[in-house]
């Protein structure tokens, strides 16, 4: 693990998880850690976490328990940026008298 990353997963950490963290992340996800589940027995270098999966706008979309290798996780400093495009507002046609 590079030295600029935390040595441990902690509450509040923002992680980007890909296949380097676990084969289950074929589609990468971003999570905010609720807590590390240190009471569970794992293989050396692996960890269970309780986390919120974040959607593209940075909002929590699901609560998940995940098994991963922290050495393969990417620590982020900020949540994903919110989309800058806006949806059009649908309005009823104006009545002409």
Bridge partners, residue 50, by sequence: 35, 65
- The model's pLDDT over 34-55, given as tens digits with 9 standing for 90+, comes to 999 999 989 999 999 999 999 9
pTM of whole model > 0.85? no
Strands 29-36 vs 47-54: parallel, antiparallel or unpaired: antiparallel
* Per-residue exposure over 26-52, b if at least 16 CB sit within 10 Å of its own CB, e if not: eeebbbbbbebeeeeeeeeebbbbebb
Q: What is the pLDDT of residue 89?
A: 73
Closest residue by Cα to residue 29 from 84, 85, 92, 76: 76
Domain boundaries, the chain: 14-76
Cα 69 → chain centroid: 14
């Amino acid at each position: 693990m590079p030295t600029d990353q935390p040595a441990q997963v902690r509450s509040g950490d923002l992680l980007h998880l890909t296949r380097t963290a676990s084969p289950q992340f074929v589609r990468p996800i971003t999570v905010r850690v609720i807590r590390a589940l240190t009471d569970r027995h794992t293989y050396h270098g692996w960890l269970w976490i309780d986390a919120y999966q974040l959607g593209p706008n940075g909002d929590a979309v699901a609560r998940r328990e995940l098994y991963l290798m922290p050495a393969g996780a990417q620590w982020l400093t900020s949540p994903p940026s919110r989309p800058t495009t806006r949806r059009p507002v649908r309005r009823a046609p104006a009545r002409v008298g």
